[in-house]
Chains A and B, each alone.
Chain A
Protein backbone atom coordinates (compact mmCIF):
# COMPACT_ATOMS: atom_id res chain seq x y z
CA UNK A 1 0.00 0.00 0.00
CA UNK A 2 2.63 2.53 1.07
CA UNK A 3 4.83 1.52 -1.89
CA UNK A 4 1.92 2.17 -4.22
CA UNK A 5 1.37 5.55 -2.61
CA UNK A 6 5.04 6.44 -2.87
CA UNK A 7 4.98 5.72 -6.59
CA UNK A 8 1.84 7.80 -6.94
CA UNK A 9 3.42 10.66 -5.02
CA UNK A 10 6.49 10.66 -7.26
CA UNK A 11 4.25 10.76 -10.34
CA UNK A 12 2.22 13.57 -8.80
CA UNK A 13 5.38 15.61 -8.19
CA UNK A 14 6.10 15.27 -11.90
CA UNK A 15 2.63 16.71 -12.47
CA UNK A 16 0.92 13.61 -13.88
CA UNK A 17 -2.77 14.34 -13.71
CA UNK A 18 -3.82 10.69 -13.66
CA UNK A 19 -1.69 10.00 -10.60
CA UNK A 20 -3.14 13.08 -8.91
CA UNK A 21 -6.66 11.84 -9.56
CA UNK A 22 -5.71 8.35 -8.29
CA UNK A 23 -4.35 9.86 -5.08
CA UNK A 24 -7.51 11.92 -4.75
CA UNK A 25 -9.67 8.84 -5.23
CA UNK A 26 -7.74 6.99 -2.54
CA UNK A 27 -8.09 9.65 0.13
CA UNK A 28 -11.01 11.91 -0.77
CA UNK A 29 -13.68 10.14 1.27
CA UNK A 30 -11.54 9.94 4.42
CA UNK A 31 -10.53 13.58 4.02
CA UNK A 32 -14.13 14.58 3.39
CA UNK A 33 -15.02 12.88 6.66
CA UNK A 34 -12.34 14.93 8.43
CA UNK A 35 -13.45 18.18 6.75
CA UNK A 36 -17.06 17.58 7.77
CA UNK A 37 -15.96 17.51 11.40
CA UNK A 38 -14.90 21.14 11.07
CA UNK A 39 -17.33 22.54 8.55
CA UNK A 40 -20.97 21.76 9.08
CA UNK A 41 -21.98 22.79 5.57
CA UNK A 42 -21.17 19.73 3.45
CA UNK A 43 -20.64 21.75 0.28
CA UNK A 44 -18.16 23.94 2.14
CA UNK A 45 -16.46 20.85 3.57
CA UNK A 46 -16.15 19.34 0.08
CA UNK A 47 -14.66 22.55 -1.33
CA UNK A 48 -12.20 22.87 1.55
CA UNK A 49 -11.18 19.23 1.11
CA UNK A 50 -10.59 19.73 -2.63
CA UNK A 51 -8.68 22.97 -2.09
CA UNK A 52 -6.61 21.12 0.50
CA UNK A 53 -5.75 18.48 -2.11
CA UNK A 54 -4.64 21.18 -4.56
CA UNK A 55 -2.41 22.69 -1.87
CA UNK A 56 -1.05 19.28 -0.98
CA UNK A 57 -0.12 18.64 -4.65
CA UNK A 58 1.89 21.86 -4.63
CA UNK A 59 3.63 20.92 -1.39
CA UNK A 60 4.23 17.26 -2.28
CA UNK A 61 7.94 17.77 -2.90
CA UNK A 62 8.42 18.69 0.77
CA UNK A 63 6.54 15.63 2.05
CA UNK A 64 8.84 13.29 3.94
CA UNK A 65 7.64 9.82 4.86
CA UNK A 66 8.35 10.37 8.57
CA UNK A 67 4.59 10.55 8.99
CA UNK A 68 2.05 8.59 6.99
CA UNK A 69 0.79 10.33 3.89
CA UNK A 70 -2.74 10.25 5.30
CA UNK A 71 -1.67 12.09 8.46
CA UNK A 72 0.26 14.66 6.41
CA UNK A 73 -2.68 15.22 4.10
CA UNK A 74 -5.11 15.41 7.02
CA UNK A 75 -3.15 18.28 8.56
CA UNK A 76 -3.35 20.23 5.31
CA UNK A 77 -7.09 19.58 5.01
CA UNK A 78 -7.65 20.66 8.63
CA UNK A 79 -5.63 23.80 8.01
CA UNK A 80 -7.76 24.54 4.99
CA UNK A 81 -10.93 24.07 7.04
CA UNK A 82 -9.59 26.39 9.75
CA UNK A 83 -8.81 29.00 7.11
CA UNK A 84 -12.45 28.81 6.04
CA UNK A 85 -13.57 29.10 9.67
CA UNK A 86 -11.29 32.09 10.17
CA UNK A 87 -12.80 33.79 7.17
CA UNK A 88 -16.08 33.39 8.95
CA UNK A 89 -14.52 35.21 11.90
CA UNK A 90 -13.95 32.46 14.37
CA UNK A 91 -14.15 33.86 17.87
CA UNK A 92 -11.02 33.75 19.95
CA UNK A 93 -10.62 34.24 23.68
CA UNK A 94 -9.04 37.56 24.56
CA UNK A 95 -5.87 37.60 26.67
CA UNK A 96 -7.57 39.43 29.56
CA UNK A 97 -9.93 36.54 30.01
CA UNK A 98 -7.05 34.19 30.56
CA UNK A 99 -6.07 35.94 33.79
CA UNK A 100 -9.57 35.74 35.11
CA UNK A 101 -9.61 32.02 34.51
CA UNK A 102 -9.75 29.96 37.68
CA UNK A 103 -7.09 27.36 37.15
CA UNK A 104 -8.78 24.10 36.64
CA UNK A 105 -6.58 21.33 37.91
CA UNK A 106 -8.59 18.70 36.16
CA UNK A 107 -6.14 17.10 33.77
CA UNK A 108 -7.95 13.81 33.65
CA UNK A 109 -9.88 12.63 30.70
CA UNK A 110 -11.68 9.98 32.73
CA UNK A 111 -15.34 9.95 31.81
CA UNK A 112 -18.16 7.59 32.57
CA UNK A 113 -17.65 4.26 30.90
CA UNK A 114 -21.12 4.25 29.38
CA UNK A 115 -20.39 7.21 27.20
CA UNK A 116 -19.96 6.19 23.61
CA UNK A 117 -17.50 7.67 21.17
CA UNK A 118 -20.33 8.77 18.94
CA UNK A 119 -21.99 10.56 21.83
CA UNK A 120 -18.78 12.42 22.64
CA UNK A 121 -18.34 13.50 19.01
CA UNK A 122 -21.94 14.68 18.82
CA UNK A 123 -21.62 16.62 22.07
CA UNK A 124 -18.37 18.24 20.96
CA UNK A 125 -20.20 19.43 17.84
CA UNK A 126 -22.67 21.27 20.04
CA UNK A 127 -19.94 23.30 21.77
CA UNK A 128 -19.05 26.89 20.80
CA UNK A 129 -16.77 26.91 17.76
CA UNK A 130 -13.52 27.84 19.56
CA UNK A 131 -13.84 25.02 22.13
CA UNK A 132 -15.08 22.57 19.59
CA UNK A 133 -12.06 23.21 17.37
CA UNK A 134 -9.41 22.67 20.04
CA UNK A 135 -11.20 19.63 21.47
CA UNK A 136 -11.42 18.08 18.03
CA UNK A 137 -7.76 18.71 17.33
CA UNK A 138 -6.66 17.38 20.72
CA UNK A 139 -9.03 14.53 21.33
CA UNK A 140 -10.09 13.31 17.92
CA UNK A 141 -7.04 14.12 15.78
CA UNK A 142 -4.58 13.50 18.61
CA UNK A 143 -2.46 16.63 18.13
CA UNK A 144 -0.47 18.05 21.03
CA UNK A 145 -0.62 21.67 22.19
CA UNK A 146 2.25 22.93 20.07
CA UNK A 147 0.72 21.29 16.98
CA UNK A 148 -2.67 22.82 17.80
CA UNK A 149 -1.04 26.19 18.26
CA UNK A 150 0.67 25.80 14.89
CA UNK A 151 -2.57 24.82 13.14
CA UNK A 152 -4.85 27.39 14.76
CA UNK A 153 -2.17 30.14 14.97
CA UNK A 154 -3.28 30.65 18.57
CA UNK A 155 -0.79 30.96 21.44
CA UNK A 156 -0.33 27.66 23.31
CA UNK A 157 -1.72 29.32 26.46
CA UNK A 158 -4.92 30.20 24.65
CA UNK A 159 -5.35 26.77 23.15
CA UNK A 160 -4.82 25.20 26.60
CA UNK A 161 -7.49 27.51 28.02
CA UNK A 162 -9.88 26.60 25.23
CA UNK A 163 -9.23 22.94 25.81
CA UNK A 164 -9.81 23.21 29.56
CA UNK A 165 -13.02 25.15 29.15
CA UNK A 166 -14.12 22.88 26.34
CA UNK A 167 -13.61 19.83 28.48
CA UNK A 168 -15.57 21.42 31.31
CA UNK A 169 -18.43 22.19 28.99
CA UNK A 170 -18.27 18.72 27.52
CA UNK A 171 -18.56 17.20 30.99
CA UNK A 172 -21.48 19.47 31.86
CA UNK A 173 -23.34 18.70 28.67
CA UNK A 174 -22.79 14.99 29.11
CA UNK A 175 -23.94 15.29 32.73
CA UNK A 176 -27.10 16.96 31.55
CA UNK A 177 -27.64 13.98 29.35
CA UNK A 178 -27.42 11.88 32.51
CA UNK A 179 -24.31 10.11 31.44
CA UNK A 180 -22.19 11.82 34.04
CA UNK A 181 -24.68 11.81 36.88
CA UNK A 182 -22.01 11.18 39.49
CA UNK A 183 -20.00 14.29 38.55
Chain B
Protein backbone atom coordinates (compact mmCIF):
# COMPACT_ATOMS: atom_id res chain seq x y z
CA UNK B 1 0.00 0.00 0.00
CA UNK B 2 1.40 3.36 -1.10
CA UNK B 3 0.79 6.93 -0.13
CA UNK B 4 1.93 10.22 -1.59
CA UNK B 5 3.85 11.74 1.28
CA UNK B 6 3.33 15.23 -0.18
CA UNK B 7 -0.32 14.94 0.75
CA UNK B 8 0.70 14.19 4.31
CA UNK B 9 2.02 17.74 4.65
CA UNK B 10 -0.59 19.52 2.57
CA UNK B 11 -3.12 19.79 5.34
CA UNK B 12 -0.49 21.04 7.71
CA UNK B 13 -1.88 23.45 10.26
CA UNK B 14 0.51 25.83 11.95
CA UNK B 15 1.97 23.78 14.73
CA UNK B 16 3.26 25.46 17.83
CA UNK B 17 6.22 25.02 20.08
CA UNK B 18 6.54 26.41 23.56
CA UNK B 19 9.13 29.11 23.90
CA UNK B 20 11.48 29.63 26.86
CA UNK B 21 9.95 31.75 29.64
CA UNK B 22 11.81 35.00 29.14
CA UNK B 23 11.29 35.18 25.38
CA UNK B 24 8.75 38.03 25.54
CA UNK B 25 11.01 40.28 27.60
CA UNK B 26 13.90 39.52 25.28
CA UNK B 27 11.84 40.37 22.22
CA UNK B 28 10.53 43.58 23.76
CA UNK B 29 14.12 44.62 24.41
CA UNK B 30 15.13 43.85 20.83
CA UNK B 31 12.07 45.70 19.52
CA UNK B 32 12.84 48.83 21.53
CA UNK B 33 16.50 48.67 20.56
CA UNK B 34 15.65 48.33 16.86
CA UNK B 35 13.26 51.29 17.11
CA UNK B 36 15.91 53.45 18.72
CA UNK B 37 18.40 52.38 16.08
CA UNK B 38 15.92 53.10 13.32
CA UNK B 39 15.09 56.47 14.87
CA UNK B 40 18.78 57.34 14.90
CA UNK B 41 19.12 56.23 11.30
CA UNK B 42 16.02 58.20 10.26
CA UNK B 43 17.37 61.29 12.01
CA UNK B 44 20.68 60.76 10.26
CA UNK B 45 18.88 60.38 6.95
CA UNK B 46 16.87 63.52 7.67
CA UNK B 47 19.98 65.52 8.38
CA UNK B 48 21.68 64.05 5.33
CA UNK B 49 18.62 64.88 3.21
CA UNK B 50 18.44 68.46 4.53
CA UNK B 51 22.15 68.90 3.99
CA UNK B 52 22.07 67.49 0.47
CA UNK B 53 19.02 69.63 -0.43
CA UNK B 54 20.74 72.77 0.86
CA UNK B 55 23.93 71.76 -0.87
CA UNK B 56 22.20 71.15 -4.20
CA UNK B 57 20.24 74.41 -3.93
CA UNK B 58 23.48 76.23 -3.23
CA UNK B 59 25.17 74.44 -6.07
CA UNK B 60 22.36 75.18 -8.53
CA UNK B 61 22.13 78.82 -7.46
CA UNK B 62 25.87 79.46 -7.70
CA UNK B 63 25.98 77.58 -10.96
CA UNK B 64 23.12 79.67 -12.39
CA UNK B 65 24.70 82.90 -11.27
CA UNK B 66 28.12 81.98 -12.48
CA UNK B 67 26.62 80.88 -15.80
CA UNK B 68 24.79 84.20 -16.04
CA UNK B 69 27.95 86.07 -15.19
CA UNK B 70 29.91 84.01 -17.64
CA UNK B 71 27.40 84.71 -20.36
CA UNK B 72 27.36 88.48 -19.80
CA UNK B 73 31.08 88.56 -19.21
CA UNK B 74 31.87 86.71 -22.37
CA UNK B 75 29.51 88.91 -24.39
CA UNK B 76 31.14 91.99 -22.89
CA UNK B 77 34.58 90.49 -23.19
CA UNK B 78 34.04 89.53 -26.82
CA UNK B 79 32.86 93.04 -27.58
CA UNK B 80 35.77 94.57 -25.73
CA UNK B 81 38.23 92.20 -27.33
CA UNK B 82 36.88 92.96 -30.80
CA UNK B 83 37.07 96.69 -30.25
CA UNK B 84 40.52 96.32 -28.76
CA UNK B 85 41.70 94.12 -31.62
CA UNK B 86 40.44 96.45 -34.34
CA UNK B 87 41.89 99.48 -32.63
CA UNK B 88 45.26 97.87 -32.02
CA UNK B 89 45.51 96.47 -35.54
CA UNK B 90 44.65 99.85 -37.03
CA UNK B 91 47.03 101.66 -34.70
CA UNK B 92 49.81 99.24 -35.56
CA UNK B 93 49.13 99.46 -39.30
CA UNK B 94 48.98 103.24 -39.29
CA UNK B 95 51.98 103.38 -36.99
CA UNK B 96 54.06 101.33 -39.39
CA UNK B 97 53.10 103.47 -42.37
CA UNK B 98 53.64 106.56 -40.23
CA UNK B 99 57.19 105.45 -39.41
CA UNK B 100 57.86 104.69 -43.07
CA UNK B 101 56.53 108.06 -44.16
CA UNK B 102 58.06 110.34 -41.61
CA UNK B 103 61.61 110.82 -40.68
CA UNK B 104 60.68 113.18 -37.92
CA UNK B 105 62.25 111.42 -34.94
CA UNK B 106 60.69 113.83 -32.45
CA UNK B 107 57.22 113.21 -33.81
CA UNK B 108 57.71 109.45 -33.73
CA UNK B 109 59.05 109.65 -30.19
CA UNK B 110 56.13 111.81 -29.08
CA UNK B 111 53.49 109.42 -30.38
CA UNK B 112 55.49 106.42 -29.21
CA UNK B 113 55.53 107.79 -25.67
CA UNK B 114 51.86 108.65 -25.79
CA UNK B 115 50.92 105.25 -27.08
CA UNK B 116 53.22 103.58 -24.57
CA UNK B 117 51.62 105.48 -21.71
CA UNK B 118 48.15 104.64 -22.95
CA UNK B 119 49.12 101.00 -23.35
CA UNK B 120 50.47 100.83 -19.81
CA UNK B 121 47.30 102.48 -18.52
CA UNK B 122 45.23 100.05 -20.51
CA UNK B 123 47.07 97.03 -19.07
CA UNK B 124 46.52 98.39 -15.58
CA UNK B 125 42.82 98.88 -16.08
CA UNK B 126 42.61 95.49 -17.77
CA UNK B 127 44.06 93.77 -14.72
CA UNK B 128 41.57 95.64 -12.53
CA UNK B 129 38.80 94.60 -14.86
CA UNK B 130 39.85 90.93 -14.55
CA UNK B 131 39.50 91.16 -10.76
CA UNK B 132 36.23 93.06 -10.70
CA UNK B 133 34.27 92.41 -13.83
CA UNK B 134 31.11 94.15 -12.66
CA UNK B 135 32.71 97.48 -11.78
CA UNK B 136 31.26 100.06 -14.14
CA UNK B 137 34.04 102.57 -13.37
CA UNK B 138 36.66 100.10 -14.59
CA UNK B 139 34.72 99.32 -17.76
CA UNK B 140 34.21 103.01 -18.41
CA UNK B 141 37.92 103.62 -17.89
CA UNK B 142 38.70 100.87 -20.42
CA UNK B 143 36.40 102.45 -22.97
CA UNK B 144 37.85 105.84 -22.19
CA UNK B 145 41.35 104.52 -22.79
CA UNK B 146 40.30 103.07 -26.13
CA UNK B 147 38.60 106.34 -27.02
CA UNK B 148 41.82 108.21 -26.32
CA UNK B 149 43.70 105.76 -28.48
CA UNK B 150 41.12 106.27 -31.17
CA UNK B 151 41.68 109.98 -30.82
CA UNK B 152 45.39 109.43 -31.07
CA UNK B 153 44.87 107.21 -34.08
CA UNK B 154 42.82 109.93 -35.70
CA UNK B 155 45.59 112.41 -34.94
CA UNK B 156 48.10 110.06 -36.52
CA UNK B 157 45.88 109.56 -39.52
CA UNK B 158 45.56 113.30 -39.91
CA UNK B 159 49.33 113.61 -39.72
CA UNK B 160 49.77 110.85 -42.22
CA UNK B 161 47.28 112.43 -44.55
CA UNK B 162 49.10 115.70 -44.26
CA UNK B 163 52.42 114.00 -44.83
CA UNK B 164 51.03 112.03 -47.75
CA UNK B 165 49.78 115.20 -49.33
CA UNK B 166 53.13 116.85 -48.76
CA UNK B 167 54.85 113.78 -50.17
CA UNK B 168 52.58 113.80 -53.20
CA UNK B 169 53.16 117.53 -53.69
CA UNK B 170 56.89 117.13 -53.51
CA UNK B 171 56.93 114.17 -55.91
CA UNK B 172 54.72 116.07 -58.40
Q: Of B27-35, B110-118, B148-156, which binds chain A?
A: B27-35
Select A32's contact among B8, B10, B19, beta carbons within 8 Å. Answer: B19
How far does the alpha carbon of A29 sit from the alpha carbon of B14 in the complex, in Å?
9
Please determine whether A139 and B5 come into contact, CB atoms closer than 8 angstroms: yes
Q: Of A46-54, A125-133, A151-159, which binds chain B?
A: A46-54
Please provide the chain A residues from 116 to 164 with a CB less than 8 Å away from any CB of chain B in the complex: 117, 120, 139-140, 142
- A3 contacts partner chain B, Cβ-Cβ < 8 Å: no
Interface residues on chain B, number (Cβ under 8 Å): 28
Please provide the chain B residues from 98 to 147 with a CB less than 8 Å away from any CB of chain A in the complex: none
Select B5's contact among A30, A36, A54, A115, beta carbons within 8 Å. Answer: A115
Instruction: Please give, as numbers and ranges, the residues of chain B lying within 8 Å of A54 by CB-CB distance.
Output: 30-31, 34
Please determine whether B27 and A24 come into contact, CB atoms closer than 8 angstroms: yes
Measured CB to CB, the nearest residue on chain A to B19 is A32
How far does the alpha carbon of A50 sit from the alpha carbon of B17 in the complex, in Å?
14
Instruction: Please give, as numbers and ranges, the residues of chain A lying within 8 Å of B24 by CB-CB distance.
Output: 21, 24-25
Measured CB to CB, the nearest residue on chain A to B7 is A109
Interface residues on chain A, number (Cβ under 8 Å): 34
Please provide the chain A residues from 1 to 59 with a CB less than 8 Å away from any CB of chain B in the complex: 15, 17, 20-21, 24-25, 28-30, 32-33, 36, 42, 46, 50-51, 53-54, 57-58
Q: How far is the CB of A139 from chain B (nearest CB, A)?
A: 6
Please determine whether B15 and A30 come into contact, CB atoms closer than 8 angstroms: yes
Instruction: Please give, as numbers and ranges, the residues of chain A lying within 8 Å of B17 by CB-CB distance.
Output: 29, 32-33, 36
How far does the alpha carbon of A111 sit from the alpha carbon of B38 in the complex, in Å?
50
Please determine whether B35 and A111 come into contact, CB atoms closer than 8 angstroms: no
Instruction: Please give, as numbers and ranges, the residues of chain B lying within 8 Å of A120 by CB-CB distance.
Output: 5, 8
How far does the alpha carbon of A172 sit from the alpha carbon of B28 in the complex, in Å?
45
Select B12's contact among A21, A28, A140, beta carbons within 8 Å. Answer: A140
Instruction: Please give, as numbers and ranges, the residues of chain B lying within 8 Å of A30 by CB-CB distance.
Output: 14-16
Please determine whether B16 and A109 come into contact, CB atoms closer than 8 angstroms: no
- A106 contacts partner chain B, Cβ-Cβ < 8 Å: no
Q: How far is the CB of B102 from chain A (nearest CB, A)?
A: 93
Instruction: Please give, as numbers and ranges, the residues of chain B lying within 8 Å of A53 by CB-CB distance.
Output: 27
List the 4 closest A-B pairs by CB distance, nearest first: A29-B16, A113-B1, A33-B17, A30-B14
Given contacts A24-B24, A110-B4, A111-B4, 16 further A-B contacts (CB under 8 A): A20-B31, A24-B27, A28-B23, A29-B17, A30-B16, A32-B19, A33-B14, A46-B23, A50-B26, A53-B27, A57-B31, A112-B1, A115-B5, A139-B5, A139-B6, A140-B9
